[in-house]
Amino acid sequence: MEFLQNNLLTILILLPVAGAVLTLAHQMFWKQEGQLKWLTLGFTTLTFVVSLLLFGSNTAGASGYSFEQNVPWIRAINTNYHVGVDGLSFWLVILTTFIMPIAVLSTWHAVEKKQTAFYVFLLLLESAMLGVFVSLDLLVFYLFFEASLIPMFFLIGVWGGENRIYAAVKFFIFTALGSLLMLVAIISLFYIYADQTGLGGTFDLVAILDAMRSGNLSITPQAGTLLFLAFALAFSIKVPLFPFHTWLPDAHTEAPTAGSVILAAVLLKMGTYGLMRFNFSLFPEQSREFAWLFITLAIIGIIYGALVAMVQPDVKRLVAYSSVAHMGFVILGMFSFTEMGMQGAVYQMLNHGISTGALFLLVGFIYERRHTRQITDFGGLANVMPIYATIFVITTMSSIGLPFLNGFVGEFMIMLGMFQSQALAVTSAVNWNYIAAMLAGTGVIFAAVYLLWMVQRVFFGKVTNEKNRALADLSWREIGIMVPLLVLMVYMGVYPKPFLKRMDEPVRALQQRVMHPAGGTIAEADHR
């Protein structure tokens, strides 16, 4: 048990890898692909169960991270395998391990070709994603960040829809392009550190931040701006922030259900997480300086995503564009630099993962039955599939942000945070923070428009297409997948306290670091 506790994060990262190896071995020796899904399900579930041990995370070390491990990896370039979890990454790790078994179950019957490879990629993807959220070494983080690309590239490109190759390549080019610049920035940091401290370079985030706080390391504004932008570009593409969003609808639409779910629930969060973890803490001045830009783009994204979602003929593409709008809210909350807004942003990351993940699952269910996602092919489904319709409507309401469902809490906190934000200049004539919150608020109206319009056309009315008349309602497996998500939607909407409590401290520290970088950074950011 102690071994487990001491190496928990490493074990979490390695468990899916072990599953992948076993999957390959199984395929080599028994050649029975039918059992692979059970194997994968077993490993992802096991990972989830083990990850629950994180809840006992009162073991925070001196640096503020729990379950910290720091061992030298490549001495030549002074890079360490340094992992740890804090309130910022905690829920994202849990979200990842939680969503994986669901993703596996969602494609229970849908994957027919190359099953071995499919499950191996799924498991490797989980490892990479977990690695991203727990890495405290910039180089290790970068490796995991890039590593997550490859499995997803193949998941889309091999098991995707008709236009899969275009979508996969687009996905890859967009995201790889951004992260290359980030790599440049990471290496620059290494040399700047070496140059200024005389201690030799490091990739260790904690070490760099310590040096910054103690004054040993101070990046010139010019360099800081460039580095900030390099990091920010990588993460913005991942989020995706308008106008870097066009890879997302294609990737989502073409990806198999499991891929879409993981993409929406976890992969996009790597962008917003990265911005908070690295941009805010490493470049607080620049974060504040560029807040107006991100807030503007976020608001454009919210409204733009909603308007474009409204006119989509394809359900899945509609949900993908709604993702653009929802992630805009997350960015907005983060860059409000208020406790309220930033906590709301982290909360909304989880909410989006659950609600949009659930929507993609639901779209997947109907696609498996009808092999079409065109809204016009449906109509009146509520008469044929009442359980499906009910679950769909509840999920929609969660995504619309109806109070007492999860989406509302996040959006409310974000908008209130923005409303009170001091990140934007206040001139005598105009309170830009008010305007920003008011504009973002219109996104909530539009969300109701496009989602309800879709629901209305797909579910209500008479059954217009004869092919839909004999559709089977959800199976027990499908209901079983949805129930935990529905429970979470309600729970997180009604009692957010346990969630918010865990992220409270690191978010406040971050907020202080950005808004009061000169005075009190050390004392107030002392959660670490």
Partner 1 sequence: MTENNLLSLIIFAPLAGAVVNWLIGGRLKNEMFSGLVACGTIAISTVVAFMIAFGIGTGHEGALVAEKPVLDHIWTWIQVGGFRADFGLGMDRLSGIYACFITFVGLLIHIFATGYMHGDKGFYRFFAYLNLFMFSMLTLVLADNFLLMFVGWEGVGLCSYLLIGYYLKKDEARKAAKKAFVMNRIGDWGVLIGVFLIFTITGSISFYDKAVDGAQVQSVFTWIQANIASPEPFGWAAVFAGGMTSAALLLFIGATGKSAQIPLFTWLPDAMAGPTPVSALIHAATMVTAGVYMVVRCNSIYQNAPTAMFVVAVIGCATAIFAATIGLAQNDIKKVLAYSTVSQLGYMFLACGVGAFIAAIFHVMTHAFFKALLFLGSGSVIHGMHHEQDMRRMGNLRKYMPVTFITMGLGWLAICGIPIWAGFFSKDEILYRTFAAAGLPEGWNYVLWGVGLLTAVLTAVYMTRLMVMTFFGEERFGEGDADHGAGHGDDAHGAAHADGDGDGDDDDEHHALPHGFKPHESPWVMTMPLVILAILSTVGGLVGVPYALSSLVGKGDINVFEHTLEPVIAKVGAGAHAEKAPSAGHDEPKADQHGSVPATAAAEKGAGHAAESEPAAHHSPEEIATERLLAGLSVLLALSGIGIGVAIFGRDPLKKLPKILEDKWRIDELYNGSIVDPITEISRERLWKGFDLGFIDGMVNGIGAFVMQFGNAIRGLQVGFVRSYAALILVGALAVLGYFIYFGFKLLS
Positions 252 through 281 that interact with partner 1 (CB under 8 A):
none
- Residue 312 CA to residue 249 CA, distance in Å, equals 11
79 pairs with which residues across the strands? 74
Rule CB under 8 A: is residue 416 a binding residue for partner 1? yes
Sequence-distant (≥ 6) Cβ neighbours of residue 377 within 8 angstroms: 370, 465, 467, 468
| Length reported for the chain | 528
- Residue 268 CA to residue 485 CA, distance in Å, equals 19
Rule CB under 8 A: is residue 151 a binding residue for partner 1? no
Tokens, residue 124: 């490797």
CB of 463 to partner 1, least distance (A): 9
Q: Out of 107, 343, 356, 512, which residue is the one contacting partner 1 (CB under 8 A)?
A: 343
* 207 vs 444, beta carbon nearer partner 1: 444
* 372 vs 383, beta carbon nearer partner 1: 383
DSSP-H helix ranges across 378-496? 381-384, 386-400, 406-419, 432-459, 476-494
Rule CB under 8 A: is residue 64 a binding residue for partner 1? no
- Residue 420 CA to residue 437 CA, distance in Å, equals 9
Rule CB under 8 A: is residue 161 a binding residue for partner 1? no
Q: Out of 86, 126, 339, 478, which residue is the one contacting partner 1 (CB under 8 A)?
A: 339
CB of 206 to partner 1, least distance (A): 22
* 67 vs 347, beta carbon nearer partner 1: 347
- Residue 21 CA to residue 29 CA, distance in Å, equals 12
CB atoms under 10 Å from CB of 526, counted, come to 12
Positions 293 through 322 that interact with partner 1 (CB under 8 A):
304, 307-308, 310-312
Tokens, residue 100: 């994986």
Rule CB under 8 A: is residue 395 a binding residue for partner 1? no
> Binding string to partner 1 for residues 488 to 527, with x set by CB under 8 A, is what?
------xxxx--x---x-----------------------
Q: Out of 268, 382, 485, 509, which residue is the one contacting partner 1 (CB under 8 A)?
A: 382
Rule CB under 8 A: is residue 438 a binding residue for partner 1? yes
Rule CB under 8 A: is residue 7 a binding residue for partner 1? no
Rule CB under 8 A: is residue 147 a binding residue for partner 1? no
DSSP state of 241: P
CB of 35 to partner 1, least distance (A): 24
Stretch that binds partner 1, among 25-33, 99-107, 190-198, 257-265 (CB under 8 A): 190-198
Tokens, residue 213: 């706080």
Rule CB under 8 A: is residue 397 a binding residue for partner 1? yes
The one-letter amino acid code at 474 reads: L
CB of 201 to partner 1, least distance (A): 11
Distances (CA, A) of 300 to 245, 304, 308, 394: 12, 6, 12, 27
N-terminal to C-terminal alpha carbon distance within the chain: 26
How many helices (H) and strands (E) in the chain?
A: 25, 2
CB of 311 to partner 1, least distance (A): 4
CB of 41 to partner 1, least distance (A): 25
Tell me, by CB under 8 A, how many residues bind partner 1. 80
Positions 165 through 184 that interact with partner 1 (CB under 8 A):
165, 168-170, 172-174, 176-177, 180-181, 183-184
Distances (CA, A) of 260 to 57, 96, 160, 199, 300: 31, 14, 10, 45, 24
Rule CB under 8 A: is residue 452 a binding residue for partner 1? yes
Cα angle, residue 143 at apex, residues 202 and 156 outer, rounded to 5°: 160
Residue pair 389/381 in contact by the 8 Å Cβ criterion:
yes
Rule CB under 8 A: is residue 421 a binding residue for partner 1? no
CB of 254 to partner 1, least distance (A): 12
Q: Out of 14, 402, 471, 515, which residue is the one contacting partner 1 (CB under 8 A)?
A: 402
Positions 74 through 133 that interact with partner 1 (CB under 8 A):
none
CB of 404 to partner 1, least distance (A): 6
Stretch that binds partner 1, among 33-41, 49-57, 68-76, 453-461 (CB under 8 A): 453-461
Rule CB under 8 A: is residue 195 a binding residue for partner 1? yes
User: Which one, of 362, 346, 510, 487, lies nearest residue 414 by Cα?
Assistant: 346
User: Which one, of 424, 417, 439, 416, lies nearest residue 291 by Cα?
Assistant: 424
Cα angle, residue 488 at apex, residues 85 and 57 outer, rounded to 5°: 25
Stretch that binds partner 1, among 30-38, 278-286, 408-416, 475-483 (CB under 8 A): 408-416
Q: Out of 35, 374, 376, 442, which residue is the one contacting partner 1 (CB under 8 A)?
A: 442
* 50 vs 402, beta carbon nearer partner 1: 402
CB of 235 to partner 1, least distance (A): 17
DSSP string, 109-167: TT--S-HHHHHHHHHHHHHHHHHHHHB-BHHHHHHHHHHTHHHHHHHHHHHS-TTHHHH
* Residue 519: half-sphere exposure toward Cβ, Cα within 13 Å: 0
Rule CB under 8 A: is residue 334 a binding residue for partner 1? no
Rule CB under 8 A: is residue 218 a binding residue for partner 1? no
- Residue 290 CA to residue 278 CA, distance in Å, equals 15
